Amino acid sequence: MSKKGILTVLGARPQFIKAAAVSRQLQVLGIPETIVHTGQHFDENMSDVFFREMSIPAPAYNLNINNLNHGAMTGRMLEQVEEIILKEKPSAVMVYGDTNSTLAGALAAVKLHVRVVHVEAGLRSFNMAMPEEVNRILTDRISSLLFCPTDAAVANLKAEGFDGFKTQIVKCGDVMQDAAYFYLDKAKSSSKILERLELRSDFILATIHRQENTDDTNNLKQIIEALNRINRKLRVVVPLHPRTRKILEPKRIKPEFTIIDPVGYLDMLMLTSNSKLVMTDSGGLQKEAFFFGKHCITLREQTEWVELVEHGFNRLAGANAEAIYNAFSEMINKKTNFDIDLYGNGKASERIAHYIKQWL
Ligand code: UDP
């Protein structure tokens, strides 16, 4: 790798979307980037389609590490990313979000005294039972440069004493907004998902994949029961995550709504921007609902995107069927003015690239 280059470690769907936005801006400024794909998400629907549709630079390494328990997965990634860092000698390692790939990339780098850049730093759910929360906290602590999407994220870091650490904290906005704005035109001209599913704007878009909802059978049953009931009033469409699909059948949970395979980002943009309401336990989708002026019901007890709840765009409903249905009844006809800049209005990646250029 040439001098002053970045090694990006990624592996899961939301990271492809974030990296698509940032990689483009790194290229604009001529910052060399080498991508390592850990393989955490690996097939056509969960990985390849994003690289193709979003023109993400092809990974130089694909580690194909997946379908393992957290420890084994993170451990194998750590071992292999370390070898790559030793070989490539990057100026810094960049990681995104909160997955095992994030933590493995950061840990491998810091132990070799290579600086870590964390994009989407400072988010907290304050629920340590979530694997994502553990990954975020540890990654933030061992990073040299933290790019925070929101004021709340900066405040979380300050509350954890980061002012006393040698860590640079930069509030830059949310790179997912950059991606949503950038790819919408392409989605409008190429996606056929609305025609394929015979949808106009009379539907609810829902996703379920969090471990706290998939591994807890009662939570999953309650959510499916609520979506079945709502589907009798307004069509519910769910691009189903493979983790959730694997669990429904053996547990004999029977959805009555429209289930489709996971879709590419362009199809997802069309579904979100044309829906009447979004219901999800995804982090990214809560914000995408907001970007397109849609209310969201979050199927969790906490969210890291607290500003959405504070402004009434989002409601936390947990995984209780009655609470979810009540939230639906309240939110479906709600009128809210979405005209507020919470996430940097599509300029976050540009800020990140400019900052990195002078920092490297
Ligand atoms: N997404 C997608 N296809 C799908 C479901 C989600 O492209 O079938 C996108 C979604 O629009 C968002 C991202 O994947 O940009 C969110 O990823 P996910 O929900 O897997 O993870 P989280 O955001 O919760 O970390």
Q: What would the pLDDT profile of 94-108 be if each residue is shown by its tens digit?
A: 999 999 999 999 999
What is the helix (H) or strand (E) element at residue 285, kind and residue range? helix 283-291
Protein residue with its CA nearest to atom 2 in ligand 1: 265
Question: Nearest-CA neighbor of 283 among 257, 316, 250, 319?
Answer: 316
Ligand 1 atom with the smallest distance to the CA of 132 is 25
What are residue 33's DSSP bridge partners?
6
Question: Nearest-CA neighbor of 19 among 1, 37, 43?
Answer: 37
Q: What is the pLDDT of residues 290-332, one digit of tens each?
A: 999 999 999 999 999 999 999 999 999 999 999 999 999 999 9
Domains of the chain: 6-174+344-359 (3.40.50.2000), 182-331 (3.40.50.2000)
Residues marked active site are found at 209
Cα distances from 174 to residues 103, 181, 256, 293, 349, in angstroms, run: 20, 12, 35, 16, 8
- Residue 2 in this model has a pLDDT that exceeds 60: no
Ligand 1 atom with the smallest distance to the CA of 98 is 25
Give percent of the chain above pLDDT 90.
98
Q: What is the pLDDT of residues 37-58, one digit of tens each?
A: 999 999 999 999 999 999 999 9
* Per-residue confidence (pLDDT) for residue 4, from 0 to 100: 76
* Per-residue confidence (pLDDT) for residue 3, from 0 to 100: 64
Neighbouring residues of 141: CB distance < 8 A, sequence distance ≥ 6 = 165
| Residue of 98, 281, 285 with the most ligand 1 atoms within 8 Å of its CB, for mutation | 285
CA of 216 to the centre of ligand 1 (A): 21
* pLDDT average, residue stretch 210-233: 96
CA of 1 to the centre of ligand 1 (A): 31
For every residue of 78-101, which 3-state class applies, written as one string? Answer: HHHHHHHHHHHCCCEEEEECCCHH
Protein residue with its CA nearest to atom 10 in ligand 1: 285
Give percent of the chain above pLDDT 70.
99
Backbone angles phi, psi at 260, to 5 degrees: -130, 165
CA of 111 to the centre of ligand 1 (A): 31
Q: What is the pLDDT of residues 238-256, one digit of tens each?
A: 999 999 999 998 998 999 9
* pLDDT average, residue stretch 132-156: 98
Taking CB atoms and a 6 Å cutoff, what residues make up the pocket around ligand 1? 13-14, 17, 207, 209, 239, 262-263, 265, 268, 282-285, 288
Whether residue 46 contacts residue 262, with contact meaning beta carbons closer than 8 Å, is answered with yes
Whether residue 13 contacts residue 41, with contact meaning beta carbons closer than 8 Å, is answered with yes
CA of 150 to the centre of ligand 1 (A): 19
Mean pLDDT of the chain: 97
| Residue of 13, 52, 314 with the most ligand 1 atoms within 8 Å of its CB, for mutation | 13
Protein residue with its CA nearest to atom 25 in ligand 1: 283
Helix (H, G, I), strand (E, B) or coil at 213: helix
* pLDDT average, residue stretch 264-283: 98
* Per-residue confidence (pLDDT) for residue 1, from 0 to 100: 62
- Residue 219 in this model has a pLDDT that exceeds 90: yes
